[in-house]
Amino acid sequence: MTSQLPPDEISNLFRKLPSVHDLLQTKRLQAAEQQFGRVRTRETARLVLDQQRNQIQQAGPQVDPEDLEAFAETVVELLDQFNQVQIRKVLNATGILLHTGLGRAPLAPQAIAAMNESAGYCNVEIDLVSGKRTQRSQIVEADLCSLTGAEAAHVVNNNAGATGLLLAAFASGREVIVSQGELIEIGGGFRLPEVFEAFGTKLRAVGTTNRTRVNDYANAISDDTGAIIMVHTSNYQVVGFTEQANLKELVRLGEEHDIPVIHDIGSGSLGSSPIKLLESEPHVRNSIRAGADLVLFSGDKLLGGPQCGVIVGKKTLIQKLERHPISRALRVDKVTLAALQATLAIYRLADSDPHALDSIPFYKMMQVPVEKIQLRAAKIVERLSQSHPDWQVNVIESIASVGGGSLPGSEMPSCAVRIQHSVYDPDTIAQRLRLGHPSIVGRVQDDAVLLDLRCIQPEDDDLFCNAVSQMCSRSS
7-44 tens-digit pLDDT: 877 888 888 888 999 999 999 999 999 999 999 999 99
Cα pseudo-dihedral 290, 292, 298, 303, rounded to 10: 30
Asked if residue 279 and residue 180 are part of one domain, the reply reads yes
* 77-88 tens-digit pLDDT: 898 888 777 888
Which CATH number do you get for residue 437? 3.90.1150.110
Which CATH number do you get for residue 165? 3.40.640.10
Asked if residue 407 and residue 314 are part of one domain, the reply reads no
Structure confidence at residue 338 as a pLDDT band (50, 70, 90): very high
- Domain end residue (candidates: 306, 325, 359): 359
* Position 52 in a domain: yes
Asked if residue 448 and residue 370 are part of one domain, the reply reads yes
Structure confidence at residue 392 as a pLDDT band (50, 70, 90): very high
Residue 239 has pLDDT above 70, yes or no: no
Distance CA 449, CA 133 (A): 54
- What is the pTM (predicted TM-score) of this model? 0.86
> What confidence score (pLDDT) does residue 16 get?
85
Domain count, the chain: 3
The pair phi, psi for residue 419, each rounded to 5°, is -125, 130
* Position 233 in a domain: yes
The secondary structure of residue 53, as a DSSP letter, is H
- Print the domain residue range for 161: 107-359
Asked if residue 401 and residue 296 are part of one domain, the reply reads no
Asked if residue 307 and residue 202 are part of one domain, the reply reads yes
> What confidence score (pLDDT) does residue 27 get?
92
Distance CA 71, CA 75 (A): 6
> What confidence score (pLDDT) does residue 1 get?
44
Give percent of the chain above pLDDT 90: 66
Distance CA 169, CA 453 (A): 45
* 143-193 tens-digit pLDDT: 999 999 999 999 999 998 999 999 999 999 999 999 988 776 666 666 777
- Domain end residue (candidates: 50, 83, 116): 83
Residue 235 has pLDDT above 60, yes or no: no
* 294-323 tens-digit pLDDT: 999 999 999 999 999 999 999 999 999 999
Asked if residue 371 and residue 344 are part of one domain, the reply reads no
Distance CA 321, CA 293 (A): 13
Residue 57 has pLDDT above 90, yes or no: no
Query: Of 23, 75, 21, nearest to 44 (Cα)?
Result: 75
Across-strand partners of 228?
177, 261
Asked which of 26-40, 127-141, 269-283 is least confident by mean pLDDT, the reply is: 269-283
Asked if residue 144 and residue 39 are part of one domain, the reply reads no
